[in-house]
A and B are shown apart, each in its own frame.
Chain A
């Protein structure tokens, strides 16, 4: 098991380097190349001389490979993600400021999703083609089809203006604990995010269980005299967990970047908005830093999913892992 994880970590690191190389290279394709941010940082009417000075200050005239090497050195040796071009903050400062806010939003909706979608999917599969199944399927399709921003706006319309008067916006404030000053404000964004992911995950759970229910070993379990509850939970659920574990693993990076639309609808400044703003204002160090974080989470999510899969399914357990 240890060598397996080690091998996977080395592989992940290589993937990470490739991702960094790509994101590092992309700014070269801007109209003014890597000097483009100067016009945004200093203003669009600055003299070519000022641009040149900015370029020298930021080491833009070194050869491409030297710049990449320096960036790697800065990140991996000095654990320094650089300083934002736009904000008077280090990139690490921006991340540590907004990550807790985003995680709070995304994690609470993820937990709600898992708690609701998995039992719902199992129930739908066990009562296939019943009224409940049809209603849940229809609702899921509608929610799945609605763009996130539209659902957010509808939620605001109904729950904040028409029917009830829930706060339309979570409390904003730079301090991480500011978000706890008015928990009611989180109901709408969390609900929107949760509804969207339930629509998605419950469909997966339903089809995963349905696929398992027709397997021969389920028939064997019935022939043994297992009750339908035992058949469903012992034999179907455990086997259906595989695909769900993978999906949840892939969902992990989405915790940080995926809530962008919801964040902007509910005017909640989290990491997603920071990434989008940084990208549109050519704040390259911030984009690189957040991308790096999301990549690490993606790779970790995959690794975790694979390890979990081995726990759920003994056939996938790696050699040398013991029993």
Chain B
């Protein structure tokens, strides 16, 4: 058993808002191994980004965080800002969702990469600049030595995201957190940015936490996948287990809502009915129960714990939070949710 790089225990994040206390993260346990790519998927508001920001200590001031986040033998939670800034960028790099706003408009991109370097390394001016150009070249910016003095507004969205990736990998961190790195980008640019991300983790030998709602992105890169719903981890397993034998109805629903290239083109996407529960207050039972087609009485009263799935797939690390996980795992994919195409153009028999 390898020592995990990052160990999150009983993480709980609450935000006090005017409407009451919002529990964004409800007791999650998660560990990240060296040199792995961990995908975190879930819909908006499921707590993916909040988890990453909690690790970085970048949550808003009204956040109340409990639990523990260990990196090596250091506890990151409750650390002073000054100590945290010696970890941010050096041990953990982060990539944000919107490349159009995540670079400072008044400094050149080279300056911003150099700043990331000089925050943790003592290099001469020339070496720093050379290093910045090298990093920009690595992430695939053409004519990097020419463009290093350009400003962010002179770059396209995809190019800017590469700059952000160069900043995140500047000090060869052990962990790179990528929070929806391709969401704001054109589909054609996404692949290039993912490639740059792959270069970044290869170069810095970092583990990558890839947060996204796009299962396609996860399928290409991740070795392990975490599915989050309503601030909880509802399923965790190898990418194969999650994609080929999901044990949680919500994961089924997510997979069923992806368009496939190998179907005949006539099948409609199956959607998950309803919407995620409110994050204010606590309802008893399974958070997914109101939307679940397999709902039984127990689902409404008792919240299922995250348990190993005793399954035919034989992967012991496959865990799911469902009372009927062992049944769900044997069900064929995408059969669980009703096909909603009935009320549309069904040809008359």
Contacts and interface: CB of A to CB of B under 8 A. Distances in A.
A and B interact: yes
The interface size bin for chain B is 20 to 34
Interface stretch (A7-15, A224-232, A272-280): A224-232
B102 A217 contact: yes
Interface string B140-172: 000000000101010000000000100110110
A216 B104 CA distance: 8
A313 B88 contact: no
Contacts of B85: 222, 225-228
A43 B230 CA distance: 87
Contacts of B103: 217, 220
A78 interface: no
Interface residues of A, number: 23
Nearest to B149: A323
B204 to A, nearest CB: 15
Contacts of B229: none
Given A217-B103, A220-B102, A225 B153 contact: no
Contact of A219 (B58, B105, B167): B58
Contacts of B94: 220, 223
A312 interface: yes
Contacts of A315: 105-106, 151, 153
B contact patch SS: loop
Contacts of B107: 238
B214 interface: no
B96 A222 contact: no
A11 B334 CA distance: 67
* Residue picked from B81, B94, B102, B149, most chain A C-beta under 10 Å: B102
B303 interface: no
Nearest to B93: A223
Nearest to B81: A228
Contacts of A238: 106-107
A215 B89 contact: no
Interface in A238-252: 238-239
Contacts of A221: 104, 115
A31 interface: no
Interface string B265-300: 000000000000000000000000000000000000
Nearest to A236: B104
A238 B167 CA distance: 20
Contacts of A220: 94, 96, 102-104, 164, 167
* Residue picked from A217, A234, A313, A323, most chain B C-beta under 10 Å: A217
Interface of A: 215-217, 219-228, 230, 234-235, 238-239, 312-315, 323
Given A224-B167, A224-B170, 12 more contacts: A217-B101, A219-B58, A220-B96, A220-B104, A221-B104, A221-B115, A222-B56, A223-B94, A223-B96, A224-B89, A230-B119, A315-B153
Interface of B: 56, 58, 81-82, 85-90, 93-94, 96, 98, 101-107, 115-116, 119-120, 149, 151, 153, 164, 167-168, 170-171
23 contacts: A216-B96, A216-B102, A217-B101, A217-B104, A219-B102, A220-B103, A220-B104, A220-B167, A221-B104, A222-B88, A223-B88, A223-B93, A224-B89, A224-B115, A225-B88, A225-B89, A225-B171, A226-B119, A227-B82, A239-B105, A239-B106, A315-B151, A323-B149
